[in-house]
Structure 1
Amino acid sequence: MTFVVQLAPAEPVTEASPPPVVDAEHEAMRNEVMRKMGRNLLLFQQIERMLKLLIAKSSLAGYVHELHAKQKRQEERVEKQTMGNLVGAFLEDALTDKGRPREAPDDLAGLWFSIGFGLEVDNAYYEERKSALAAAVAERNELVHHFLPRWDLMSMESMRAADEYLDRQRANVLPEFEHLKSLVGALEDGWRQTGEFLLSGEWAKHFSLTDLRHSRPVLLLGDIAQKMGRDDGYVLLNTAGNLLRLHAPEETKALKERCGYKSLKALIVATELFDLVEEPTEKGGVRVFYRMKPGISLEFGETGEQ
């Protein structure tokens, strides 16, 4: 048996076609398109970074010893999120009540710290931000995933169109970039002021004052003033002292010893919640009266502040 194999004639060897010639003007335009593409990508990355910062630092609450670890976990949680997810989280956290400081647990076991950043906005503002950020996400995805297939780098006409497109894209996104930048600035100012407050030692005074105002003896003093005050609101200090010795003797004594107040009058002055007056007696002595200052809330110390 004989097999015959017939080979096709070899193709003639030819040189590769030279690349199309691009003149200097075309090359300059193509480079400009690439530059603007990079500029816009950087703009979107800056928006992502600002969203991550606003989300990670919008609120922080917990016992003082665990705050550093909590902050780190919040930063790690947002680091790998997509821009679309970041926008959703920002709208949910910064533009709702979630950005408000959180209340301490009822069974406190140490020093509790809470800080929150949020904006009080109406529905129109919320919808405006939602729409603008959604448009920014769409612009970013268009640039990252569809820009190169859309344009012909070898066509001068296409490059001119791409150049105009990139300018329009930047103009569309830049207002939201500036808006987020202002929010970041406000957030950083808030954290800076908080840090300065904590380092100044004023926080210790504020904490001590808050603790004093919420003690049972001081709350009893407020209750006595509200229920037993004269027409002008004043109550005889001796009367209040007798009632404290009757209803909270140990707590009043412990509070004086712990805070260093040698008299009930000194304790009342320290709370900054009450007015004091002295009135002469018929025998030439002096009687001390106190009343709650206007605008003071018994449950919260100062009106509107918990």
Structure 2
Amino acid sequence: MSQPREARGIPSVEGLHQQSKKTLGQVMGELTENVLMPNSPAADEVGEDDDPGDFDEIRFRTRFNIEVPVEHHEDTLVALRALVDLRNELVHHFLEKHDIWTESGCVEAQAYLDACYEQVDERYMELHAWAKSSVEAREYMASLMQTPEFMDFILHGILPAGAGVEWECSTIVKLLRKAETALAQDNWTSLSDAIASIQKEHPEHTPRRYGCSSWRQVLHESRQFLVRKERTDPNRSTKIWYRSEDK
């Protein structure tokens, strides 16, 4: 199974180390350009570069964005960029603009710093709320990924809540193909022989687990195999043979 891609917008430990080497302006640029998005249908669209194309195994990706109402998105960007400008002004030009050698100058500088603090504190609370939501979302996703339903979907192709099966990449189809490779006679495999082999090595993978009442239904529902029925003796049951459609 493919390894899950790193969640966009949620850096790894290595990513955090790299972020610590960047300037505040660079970090804010990445936040405003790659993470902070307007709350609109276009934000959820998958681009052509994200199309995985044809695949024969379960894949999934995660993407983390902070969505802001469209009418407030631009104002939020302006406020965050102003925070970077404020930082640069305080670090590089504060002493140039304020006379801290006189009492009146100190009073004026103090009032200015108080105003800056209020602006910084407002942005801090906003960023803190976003970070808290990010952590909560990651914890929820981690708990979800530990459920039996999620593991059945990722490992075996069984969709949650009885929604069906991704047959092409399901484990039961892979087991039928494996039995086919080992037991085929003239490109056809006895279903009864395949069932015996699968039940011996993987008894937990039954048709019922995949929403089917029988192995014949698995062959029919999966649409991955051709089926041949053979009845040589009226007193005996019909023998079922199968083979992969691509053979």
TM interval, shorter chain, is 0.5 to 0.7
User: For the structure 1 residues 266 and 75, does the alpha-carbon distance in structure 2 shift closer, same or farther, using more than 3 Å as the test?
Assistant: closer
Report 1:272-283 matches (<5 A): none
1:75 CA displacement = 2.5
Aligned to 1:77: 18
Identity over aligned pairs, percent: 21
Give unpaired runs (5+ residues) of structure 2. 38-42, 160-164, 171-189, 214-247
Does structure 1 retain, via aligned residues, the 8 Å contact 2:158–2:210?
A: no
User: For the structure 1 residues 191 and 143, does the alpha-carbon distance in structure 2 shift closer, same or farther, using more than 3 Å as the test?
Assistant: same
Paired positions, count: 174
Query: In the alignment, is residue 91 of structure 1 matched against residue 32 of structure 2?
Result: yes
Query: In the alignment, is residue 214 of structure 1 matched against residue 163 of structure 2?
Result: no
- TM-score w.r.t. the length of structure 1 is 0.45
For the pair shown, which has the larger CA radius of gyration, 1 or 2? Answer: 1
Does structure 1 retain, via aligned residues, the 8 Å contact 2:5–2:61?
A: no
Identify which of 97, 101, 110 aligns with 1:163: 110
| CA distance in 1: counterparts of 2:138 and 2:45, whole angstroms | 14
Does structure 2 retain, via aligned residues, the 8 Å contact 1:78–1:86?
A: yes
User: For the structure 1 residues 209 and 161, does the alpha-carbon distance in structure 2 shift closer, same or farther, using more than 3 Å as the test?
Assistant: same
User: For the structure 1 residues 66 and 259, does the alpha-carbon distance in structure 2 shift closer, same or farther, using more than 3 Å as the test?
Assistant: farther
1:79 CA displacement = 2.2
| CA distance in 1: counterparts of 2:136 and 2:6, whole angstroms | 23
Query: In the alignment, is residue 145 of structure 1 matched against residue 92 of structure 2?
Result: yes
Query: In the alignment, is residue 182 of structure 1 matched against residue 134 of structure 2?
Result: no
| CA distance in 2: counterparts of 1:81 and 1:99, whole angstroms | 30
| CA distance in 2: counterparts of 1:104 and 1:198, whole angstroms | 23
Does structure 2 retain, via aligned residues, the 8 Å contact 1:93–1:99?
A: no
Spell out, residue by residue over 1:140-175, the C-alpha distance to the aligned partner (whole angstroms, 9 max, x if none). 111111112322332000000011000111112322
User: For the structure 1 residues 266 and 185, does the alpha-carbon distance in structure 2 shift closer, same or farther, using more than 3 Å as the test?
Assistant: closer
Q: Secondary structure at the match of 2:127?
A: helix
Task: Report 1 or 2 for greater relative contact order, CA contacts < 8 Å, sequence distance ≥ 6.
Answer: 1
Does structure 2 retain, via aligned residues, the 8 Å contact 1:64–1:112?
A: yes
| CA distance in 1: counterparts of 2:21 and 2:45, whole angstroms | 21
Does structure 2 retain, via aligned residues, the 8 Å contact 1:153–1:159?
A: yes
- TM-score w.r.t. the length of structure 2 is 0.55
1:125 CA displacement = 1.9
Does structure 2 retain, via aligned residues, the 8 Å contact 1:99–1:118?
A: no
Query: In the alignment, is residue 268 of structure 1 matched against residue 211 of structure 2?
Result: yes
Report 1:284-295 matches (<5 A): none
Please tell me the residue identity of whatever aligns with 1:149.
Answer: E
| CA distance in 2: counterparts of 1:209 and 1:156, whole angstroms | 74
